Amino acid sequence: MKIMVQKNVTRQMKDAQNSTDKPAHKNNGGMFSRERESSGTKTKGELMMEYYHQSIPMSEILNRIAKLQSVLLEKDMDAALILQKSDFFYFSGTIQQGWLYVPVEGRPLLMIFKDYERAKAESPIESVISLVSPKKIPEIIKDMGMPFPANLGMELDVLPTNLYFQYDNIFSYSAIIDVSTEIRLIRAVKSDYEIGQIEAAARLSDKLAEKVPEILEPGKTEIALAGELEAYARSLGHQGNVRMRLWGSELFYGHLMAGESAAVPSFMSSPTGGCGTSSATAQGAGFRKIKPNEPVLVDYVFALNGYLSDHARIFSIGPLSDDFINAHDAMLDIQKRAVESGKSGMVSGQLYEQMVSQAEDAGYGDFFMGADARKIRFTGHGLGIELDEFPFIAKGQKLVLQKGMVVALEPKVIMPGKGVVGIENTFVVTDDGLRSLGKFQNSICQI
């Protein structure tokens, strides 16, 4: 059975080789370029293609589907039904509203409620159909000649309970099994294509940091500076939304705070919080005016073409006091050693313990990654399409780092009533350690 899956994928891969360098259009489930009508009038499909296009190559999608099918076979699942937006985008190349059905063997089926034409243009998947209700999925599976799944994988880590009951009723003859961990492990190891996308985002993170000295001035409020910087990010192509998997998590670009407001704790699973504009947001930039000789934290995520770069730097108007400078230098030392140790084969929890131990030895244990009893217990995290992907550089984690994983390390010191210093960069795991994608200076940028 495993051989049959491989043969099917190999055949599709060969068919895809010539389709990755130019746009492809689909009609009636096939991939081919449409010809313009003899009258010269554009078809609806041609008009749609002026606005919508494939952003992920077919070969990339097929590789991802093949990995998922191998996992389904290993876990004795007959199929997976993908609903969650990030997973849906990862495996289909579109986030249009619908359902992606991946059988353990054979071609995936993309069923779209809204918008069908756009999904056909954006996704390289060959079998795309319009569907009004998920209640019709079992009937469609039967009509497509696919066996009905005895064991159906779904993303139970994020699927709301009411939807679980709905799908449990629709697939009444199937056992619904959680496939979310397996999906997240697949997504944790990035392809060369994905690393290229994240590198492009990291270059724009650097450009964003380069902009700060041009617009940072005393008396300007945090929120005003954030507004200018975020507008610039949009002009560079920032997609706006930053996707996170953890239930209830929210983030708008990131955190920009100055002085003591940067050390204000909040609900966010982050070493920093910030006042925000009100208790309705309770994080990030507020209305406090920026002063000379205090650290200004610019901790922003750049989101480009679906992929993320996480990047934090410290700026100041005039020199900072020695306690800030010394603490920041200690964080750079922690980052330096982690870069050397974070090679493929390193256990993620061990890297966390190394970073915590080094902070304690430097005298910053009580203020490392937070300053209260409920400070966070991680020093880094995976990222890609979402900000909170595997692996987590966290207490007790057993996941081994693998070549091609992408992580953000963020050693920071939180000084209550004073401010925050530290660093964050996005790295690729290699056999020789971590390769940084951020190039902007790691030292404090004094204006």
Q: What are the tens digits of pLDDT across the range 28-60?
A: 343 322 233 344 566 666 666 667 777 899 999
Percentage of residues in the chain having pLDDT higher than 70: 89
Mean pLDDT (the chain) is 91
Pick the CATH number of 2-187 from 3.40.50.720, 3.40.350.10, 2.60.40.10, 3.20.20.70: 3.40.350.10
Find the helix or strand (DSSP H, E) in which 226 lies. helix 222-236
pLDDT in tens, 219-272: 999 999 999 999 999 999 999 999 999 998 999 999 999 999 999 999 988 999
| The pair of three-digit structure tokens given for residue 197, joined into one six-digit string | 């996308």
- What pLDDT does residue 373 have? 86
- What pLDDT does residue 48 have? 61
pLDDT in tens, 272-282: 999 999 999 99
- Asked if the model's pLDDT at residue 349 lies above 80, the reply is yes
- What is the spatial distance between Cα 437 and Cα 425, in angstroms, rounded to a whole number? 7
In which band, very low, low, confident or very high, does the pLDDT at 338 lie, cut at 50, 70 and 90?
very high
Is residue 351 within 8 Å of 398, Cβ to Cβ?
no
Show me where the domains of the chain are located: 2-187, 189-446
φ and ψ at residue 430, rounded to 5 degrees: -125, 175
- What is the spatial distance between Cα 281 and Cα 267, in angstroms, rounded to a whole number? 10
How do beta strands 175-178 and 151-154 pair?
A: parallel
Angle between helices 192-215 and 222-236 (to 10 degrees): 140
- What pLDDT does residue 46 have? 64
**Residue positions counted in the chain:** 447
| The pair of three-digit structure tokens given for residue 178, joined into one six-digit string | 């959680």
- What is the spatial distance between Cα 27 and Cα 107, in angstroms, rounded to a whole number? 16
SS3 at position 8: helix
Q: What is the mean pLDDT of residues 373-395?
A: 96
Does CATH number 3.90.230.10 belong to domain 189-446?
A: yes
- What pLDDT does residue 54 have? 74
| The pair of three-digit structure tokens given for residue 379, joined into one six-digit string | 């020093």
- Asked if the model's pLDDT at residue 324 lies above 50, the reply is yes
